Amino acid sequence: MFPISKHAKIFRVVYNVGYTSGSSATVAFVPFNGNNEHGGGTSGTLPAGASERVSFIAPYAGKIIRVGWRSEIEQSAGNTLKISLCEAPNSVEVPSTSSVIGTPYERTYPISENTTVLFNPTNWVVAVGRTYALRVQTQSAPIDTIMTVVLEYTI
């Protein structure tokens, strides 16, 4: 975490993550916790059995301000890439698609292999103490994938 200025109470955290999908896995929950084991599969709406690998707790109120995604496999024409911020509200153990925060990012045209997609999410706001996960859905299994996620916290 690093401050934006000496007087600011706003900090940014950059998460660099990577994962490998199976040859048919088109849904992944991004592994934030130090390994490449994602949660998902072919239609996952929640990271069953993987919450401890793919979730994070927001230590402060904030927002996700930038996301980068890159895969070694081409995503051909159609709704090829959808990235969502999912939340586990209080009293719910696992983040899921039943509680999506803000507007999911959707790219509806081809993405060449080994091409970086960068975007600034709309209203991906995180609340202090809540649990979150990023869900990625692709048309083709992305195989080796890397991501960068930038969170901005207000302290």
Alpha carbon of 77 to those of 71, 81, 147: distances in Å?
A: 15, 10, 21
Under 8 Å between Cβ of 69 and 136? yes
Alpha carbon distance 110, 118 (integer Å): 14
> Which pTM does this prediction carry?
0.89
| CATH at residue 103 | 2.60.120
Q: Of 109, 130, 134, 108, give the one whose Cα is nearest residue 121.
A: 134
Domain assignment of residue 17, yes or no: yes
Tell me, yes or no, whether 7 lies in a domain: no
pLDDT at position 2, please? 59
Residue 53: pLDDT band with limits 50, 70, 90: confident
Domain that residue 16 falls in? 12-154
Number of domains into which the chain is organized: 1
Q: Is residue 3 part of a domain?
A: no
- Pick from 123, 125, 118, 141: nearest CA to 38: 141
What would the pLDDT profile of 96-147 be if each residue is shown by its tens digit? 888 999 999 998 878 999 999 999 998 999 999 999 999 999 988 888 999 9
Inside any domain, residue 1? no
Residue 45 inside a domain? The answer is: yes
pLDDT digit string, tens, across residues 14-27 = 999 988 887 788 88
Structure-block tokens of residue 45: 């709406």
Q: Is the residue at 6 inside a domain?
A: no
